[in-house]
Amino acid sequence: MSNLREAKCPNCDAPMRYDPERDKLVCDFCHTEMDIQPEEEDLSQPAQQGEASLEGFHFEQYAKQAQKPDAEALPIYNCPSCGAELITPKEAAALTCPYCRNNIVMTNQVSGSLRPDGILPFRITAKMLPAAMQQYYKDKILLPRNFFSDSTMGNITGVYVPFWLFSGTISGSLNYRARRSAAVRQGDYIVTTTSHYDLNRDVSMAFENLPVDASGRIDDALMDSLEPFDMSDLRPFDMNYMAGFTADRFDKTAEDIASKAESRMKQTAYSVANTAASAGYEGAVRTGGSLQAVMSQVRYVLLPVYLFQVSHAGKNYSFAVNGQSGKIMGEIPTDKGVQFRHFLKYSLPAVGLILLASVVSYLMGR
């Protein structure tokens, strides 16, 4: 049985692609459009539900695992349309043949134990990105002066990036030392009384579908910066959404990155608890206590991301775009000359005013 699946037009046999604007498969040659029908094999439900502590959490009960290939050679596929040999990274799950533009899915990478629980389709198209980038640069005042005329936007690649979605709860008890002050006038004096309090706050927070990047080939911080994704549009997995895009399967298991999910949940819980504990007080300092994580569900999904580079003055700057919301993140080139002139224009007048105020204050005090 072939491990390759093509997206072919039933009328003219040309490649079909998924169009985010129309939410359909489209043929750019004869303009055929097709709705995406649910696949017969529906394994889109969460792998398992229940509760387990992160300590000793057996993720094989909750998530699909993959055997990591031992072969060092990159896999080679033959395009079923033109016969060209395609050499791909071992994690690749979908691609477009560079010779005949045939859209291909490696079914062995997204079937059986590797089948995702869901997929979040692209909602913006690649053709929207140049205008979006112009808008993104609009308020970047430190860009080189000739950036817009001399920069070049490289090829845009739409990638379905593998993520694990973690759901669970954070709970525990935290201790704080807080203070509250009150000032009253007594004759010629103002008397300030400061009261100190020992606080105990019980914490319980639920998290649903916290995404953590499951690909070791893409920078984790960059993927984190693209959040949030609206998971209400998460669909049961269907290979048709991948037509015209590339895709990777996960190479980091849920167990590999569970600690990162737990850390992010705890950071959020601590931040919310600290803010709540300070309410009604001038300040509250955490003095003790702890929080524990309990995971109830983990799912494997593919989320939409555009990747490309912008070239300027011999250097490439990498960018990523949330394929659902259009949020842009990436490196921003700066011009040192523009940066210095900006400093002279805005910082020196402020420094001068401060020095003038100091001199006036000194003279008046003499």
Mean pLDDT: which of 92-106, 158-172, 214-228 is highest? 158-172
Q: Say what the pLDDT of residue 158 is.
A: 93
Average pLDDT over residues 272-289: 92
Average pLDDT over residues 171-179: 96
Distance CA 160, CA 245 (A): 7
Task: Give the Cβ contact number of residue 6 at 10 Å.
Answer: 17
Strand 24-27 versus strand 33-34 pairing type: antiparallel
Q: Has residue 64 got a pLDDT over 70? A: no
Q: Is 294 exposed, middle or buried (0-12, 13-18, 19+ CB in 10 A)?
A: middle
Contact 291, 270 (CB under 8 A): yes
Q: Say what the pLDDT of residue 240 is.
A: 92
Contact 218, 91 (CB under 8 A): no
Condensed to tens digits (0 to 9), the pLDDT of residues 11-63 reads 999 999 999 999 999 999 999 999 987 765 443 344 433 333 444 444 554 44
Distance CA 133, CA 327 (A): 10
Q: Which two tokens stand for residue 345?
A: 């224009």
Average pLDDT over residues 276-302: 92
Distance CA 210, CA 165 (A): 5
Q: Which two tokens stand for residue 304?
A: 């939409």
Distance CA 284, CA 286 (A): 7
Task: Give the Cβ contact number of residue 216 at 10 Å.
Answer: 12
Q: Has residue 152 got a pLDDT over 80? A: yes
Condensed to tens digits (0 to 9), the pLDDT of residues 237-258 reads 999 999 999 998 898 999 989 9
Q: Say what the pLDDT of residue 46 is.
A: 41
Task: Give the Cβ contact number of residue 103 at 10 Å.
Answer: 24
Condensed to tens digits (0 to 9), the pLDDT of residues 115-140 reads 999 999 999 999 999 899 888 887 77
Nearest residue to 302 via CA among 236, 208, 360, 220: 236
The mean pLDDT of the chain is 82
Comparing 168-172, 251-255, 265-269, 345-349, the range with the smallest average pLDDT is: 345-349
Residues paired with 301 in a beta bridge: 118, 163
Compute the residue count for the chain. 366
Q: Say what the pLDDT of residue 65 is.
A: 47
Q: Has residue 202 got a pLDDT over 60? A: yes
CA atoms within 13 A on the CB side of 156: 19
Q: How far, in Å, are 170, 206, 292, 315 from residue 55 at the CA level?
A: 13, 18, 10, 45
Q: Say what the pLDDT of residue 288 is.
A: 95
Q: Say what the pLDDT of residue 43 is.
A: 38
